[in-house]
A and B are shown apart, each in its own frame.
Chain A
Amino acid sequence: MEEVDVEPTTTPIPGFDSNQKHLGFVWGPGDILVYETIYKASGGSAGGCPFVHEVRKDEDIYSPILRKLFNESHHIFVGLQRIREDLPSKNKKPQFVSISKNYRSVIRACMEELQQVAVSTQDAALATQYGNQVSILLAVELIWNLCEVLFIDAAPAGSLVLHLLDWVRLHKADVDEKAREVLASESPAEHQAYWDVVISYVLQGRMDEARQVLVKQATLQPAARAMFKLLDNLLMKMPIFNPGETQTLTEFDVKWRHWREEVDRCLQDQSFASNPHLEDICKILVGDEDVLLEHKELLSTWYHFLVTRLLFSHPTVKPTELHYYAQSSMHMFLDTRSVPEPLDSILLAAFEFDIHQVIKDCSIALNNWWFVGHLTDLLDHCKLLQSHNLHFGSNLREFLLLEYASGLFTHHSLWQLAVDYFDHCPEFGRVYLELQIERVPLDTERKALKVIRICEQRQMTEQVRSICKIMAKKALRNNRLGSALSWSIRAKDAAFATLISERFLQDYCAKGTFSDLDLIDNLGPAMLLSDRLTFLGKYREFHRLYGEKRFSDAAKLLLSLMTAKIAPRSFWMTLLTDALPLLEQKEVIFSADQTHELMFCLEELTSEKSVPNPDRPMQDEDIETTKIELLRLALARNLAMAIVKEGTVEV
């Protein structure tokens, strides 16, 4: 039995007394249905409260703002899948980086919108909910950005620190706010947050901005001008690795060491002794960890501390050495007694380049599969995931995408996005889609048509049939025979078409007229779907011909219906009865041969009925016999007239 990674969360069911009752449950695609009951080992279980509760893990898909996230990321996902496989990988990297940036900008856009709504809403509970979602999205974007820097962009030593600096700057925006506040004030140099701003800039490696703010102080203290000039100089001269230039890493390293020695000398010379702030800055420049730790509140996170440390002590750090510094930074920064938060362990795993651990921890911490699904898919495209086969055959990427898409399918309108995700899961996607697509609720014809279109595009004929059958049955239940027939024709379902044609014919026998003439008259080639349907169409044609007084054509058709065995036996009586008016006409319509055939049909029919049926009431028997006698008489008379007519020679 696998051990559980984290303690499962408990969700209390309202109104449920666990002392007296048991809880019955059943799994759904994205939720659980629970009900109260008392389970007995033998005998039936007693009922209890009549309520059924639905417990759902993922509330996010029902959030109107987050839905944009799902829609936009679907668009990006589909675009990613279509990147051509045959491009050489060095051309693909910038594409992947830009796709990663697209995903991140979508997350940011959502975050901003949520933030706006959280601030403007009146409802306190809603505001907290939105606030929570914003912080989750912030964390998600932080992790994604780090993964982009470390895994997708895979910056080498030198640029690595610069990218990490960008990463930190992006996620610590309050510095700019504070700076604005300070600079906008009347006397910036005397603002209480002044030195915080300067030091924050230095900690983030933003030397130019730091210098600009320092100038304000320098002008106030002309006496110490030399000191300020010296620091300004040091800040200006700090070497920054430029990957575009021809300078190699070792050259940069040499330059940087020179500069560091210079700063160290200034410290040793006590040049900044008179101004403790300036001395602090100088110590930071040298990478003094104790001083860095003194400014914990300005750094606020251990990863900021890590990056600053790297900037000032090991700017040429290699990706493989990162994890060592990451771990030590975390230990130095955090209180040793406090338990690391999930975010911290995820980031640490990222610094250790343990992609699987990152994905695993994120899956546990977040309540839906959006983030891990898309990130894993992107990493898989970058060929960074080993084919880590799970127990049931599919790989990690596919597993996560399947879970994500299954969750989407339960939503009444996001299910269409899920279809594309299933399409791009080669192993099990199709099977999942086949199972899920049949369960989409079909309230309108338009929705049914969309679902059918999706199935037809993927050659899922079984599902097309089953959906058409559902729609046809629904129509039949509401006595919409025309609609039902339309659906069975679409599904090419001969059996159902036969059933419906029977209903039509029954209606005709009962009422004497056809309903839905506009449908039957216009069957077209669909008539051939089932024999009964063909008969229906032809029978209606017979009526039409009769109505147009084209008696000979009508007669021929009628006869062919019986002789070609298109008409069901049960209907022959009706057909023969229809023939009566034709036989009674003054003009001879049926030829002798035709009359013979009719008589033959009648005999066939009556020979079957020779055994009297005890169940049938006497009245019906009488009617039957009368009809048969009438027919016989009419046929005989017609035969006589036909023989005479055919035997007559025109003189």
Chain B
Amino acid sequence: MVVKRTALSKDNRISIWSIGENGVSSMDDEFEGDPQLVCEYKHNGDVLDLQFLDQDRIVTASSTGAVTIFRHHHNSQTLSVSQLWERAHHYPCDNAPCTGVVCNSPEIVTVGEDGRIMLFRADQEGVLRTIEKADSSAIHAVTFLRTTEILTVNSIGQLKLWDFRQPGNEPSQILSLSGDRVPLHCVDRHPNQQHIVATGGQDGMLCIWDMRQGNMPFSLMEAHTSEMWEVHFHPSNPDHLFSCSEDGSLLHWESSSNSDTPSFLQGGRNTSIISRSAIAPAGGNQSLINAWLTGDSSKGHLETTHMLPSQMLSVNSLDVLGQCLVCGTDGEAIYVNRHVPI
């Protein structure tokens, strides 16, 4: 049974769904059978982000500022609350939504609109560390760069690097796109090469950053016509990137470093993208150049495919594992694609 995570933003319940056998590949039909609801549990406030902590536990970030760990009991197929930090994020007068959560078991890092970064440990009551006033504006997303370093993006378009080994409340590095201070909404790190980071923001542009150098993004690509809510590298095949947006589209980006044209992707429609590379790659160590960091567009090749039919409401969240892609929309629908060509 494959269990997928879903981020049901507006529905105040957290649910686990099963989408059937992974091995059945006889039919060509992309959407075989409906996902079955396995169990669900009431959730206080909108679920703004969630992530699996380990096989049994899921951490959620709530719009009330709470961080909750749910435990999924496989035997009885039920969910229960295992741990709760009620006011992890808060203002002096109001609640502050917790906007992002990322786990590196057993540590959990959360960020919120109050500009705080909180570090928790599962099974420990209190807070491990708080970075107060980490940001003067709302922090929208967080991801691990290395085991002790995290990256956050905020609503004034800055990508900040934090090192937990250092005391104090200052980031180690601040990167931003100069000029327009476009809010950034999502960030993800390349699974194998830790210096490559992708971000997406309010203007729907996909930025690829090289953390080793410069304050500017490495390349900017026009992706969507409105806010990009989530971006993910494929965990096992990182030449593939997925992004989803308020304009109702979900794009599948495939980069290849050889000059042969990639095999024609099934379904959807191909769009040509405009790639603006900001800087040429650093000299030396040419063999480690990644497809994403290819400055010269004739050397690399980038294909994008729309994964969903048009006329959709905003796609708020997506996740990908193996050949399976899941996304959720504002039309209160979840789409599952089990045969993503990678």
Contact = CB atoms under 8 A, between A and B. Distances in A.
Contacts of A413: 10-11, 330, 332
B299 to A, nearest CB: 33
B180 interface: yes
Interface in B37-85: 45-46, 48, 63
Interface in A458-498: 474, 477-483, 486, 489
B113 A474 contact: no
A214 B48 CA distance: 64
A478 B94 contact: yes
Interface string B288-326: 000000000000000000000001011000000000000
Contact of A71 (B138, B179, B333): B333
B178 A444 contact: no
Given A67-B332, A482-B137, A483-B155, A75 B311 contact: yes
Contacts of A524: 178-181
A581 to B, nearest CB: 26
Contacts of A79: 311
B128 interface: no
Nearest to A519: B136
A595 B313 CA distance: 63
A177 interface: no
B137 A519 contact: yes
User: Which of B91, B114, B115, B156 has most A Cβ within 10 Å?
Assistant: B156
Contacts of B96: 478
A490 to B, nearest CB: 9
B227 to A, nearest CB: 6
A416 B313 contact: yes
Interface string A249-283: 00000000000000000000000000000000000
Interface string A491-521: 0000000000000000000000001101100
A480 B134 CA distance: 12
Contacts of B99: 444-446
Contacts of B183: 486
B200 interface: no
Nearest to B157: A522
User: Which of A412, A449, A481 has most B Cβ within 10 Å?
Assistant: A449
B246 A450 contact: yes
A443 interface: yes
B214 to A, nearest CB: 16
A526 interface: yes
Contact of B136 (A412, A453, A483): A483
A526 B179 CA distance: 9
Contacts of B93: 477-478
Interface string B243-271: 00010000000000000000000000000
Interface string A54-72: 0000000000000110010
Nearest to B179: A524
B156 A482 contact: yes
A230 interface: no
Contacts of B46: 443-444
B279 interface: no
A216 interface: no
Contacts of B23: none
B227 A449 contact: yes
A528 to B, nearest CB: 13
A416 B135 contact: no
A478 B91 contact: yes
Interface in A322-359: none
B287 to A, nearest CB: 36
A52 interface: no
B92 interface: yes
B246 A445 contact: no
A364 to B, nearest CB: 30
A74 B331 contact: yes
Contacts of B135: 482, 518
A98 B115 CA distance: 52
Contact of B156 (A78, A481, A486): A486
B202 interface: yes
A43 to B, nearest CB: 38
B176 A445 contact: no
Contact of B113 (A444, A477, A489): A444
A385 B155 CA distance: 50
Contact of A515 (B97, B136, B313): B136
B331 A71 contact: yes
Interface residues of A, number: 38
A525 interface: yes
Contacts of B18: none
Given A445-B97, A453-B226, A518-B135, A486 B331 contact: no
Contact of B92 (A412, A479, A525): A479
A75 B309 CA distance: 12
A483 B179 contact: no
A518 B246 contact: no
B174 interface: yes
B158 interface: yes
Given A482-B156, A524-B181, A444 B311 contact: no
B137 A486 contact: yes
Given A71-B331, A478-B92, A522-B181, A444 B97 contact: yes
A412 B12 CA distance: 11
Interface in A420-455: 443-446, 449-450, 453
Contact of B179 (A477, A515, A519, A525): A525
Contacts of A453: 226-227, 246
Contacts of B63: 443-444
B115 A75 contact: no
A68 B11 CA distance: 13
A82 B311 CA distance: 10
A480 B136 contact: yes
B92 A486 contact: no
B57 to A, nearest CB: 24
A521 to B, nearest CB: 9
B136 A516 contact: yes
A71 B137 contact: no
Contacts of A516: 136
A112 to B, nearest CB: 13
Given A445-B97, A477-B93, A478-B91, A75 B136 contact: no
A197 B169 CA distance: 82
B331 A522 contact: no
Contacts of B176: 522
A479 B133 CA distance: 11
A416 B329 CA distance: 11
User: Which of B115, B137, B138 has most A Cβ within 10 Å?
Assistant: B137
Contacts of B333: 71
A469 to B, nearest CB: 16
B48 A446 contact: yes
Interface in B146-201: 155-156, 158, 174, 176, 178-181, 183
A78 B309 CA distance: 14
B91 A518 contact: no
A522 B94 contact: no
Interface string B121-140: 00000000000010111101
Contacts of B45: 443
A446 B136 CA distance: 17
Nearest to B333: A71
8 contacts: A79-B311, A444-B113, A446-B9, A449-B202, A480-B114, A515-B136, A524-B179, A525-B180
Given A71-B332, A478-B91, 17 more contacts: A67-B332, A71-B331, A75-B311, A413-B330, A416-B330, A417-B331, A444-B63, A446-B48, A453-B227, A453-B246, A478-B114, A480-B114, A486-B155, A518-B156, A522-B158, A523-B181, A525-B179
Q: List the 4 closest pairs (A to B, CB-CB), nearest first.
A: A482-B136, A516-B136, A478-B91, A413-B10
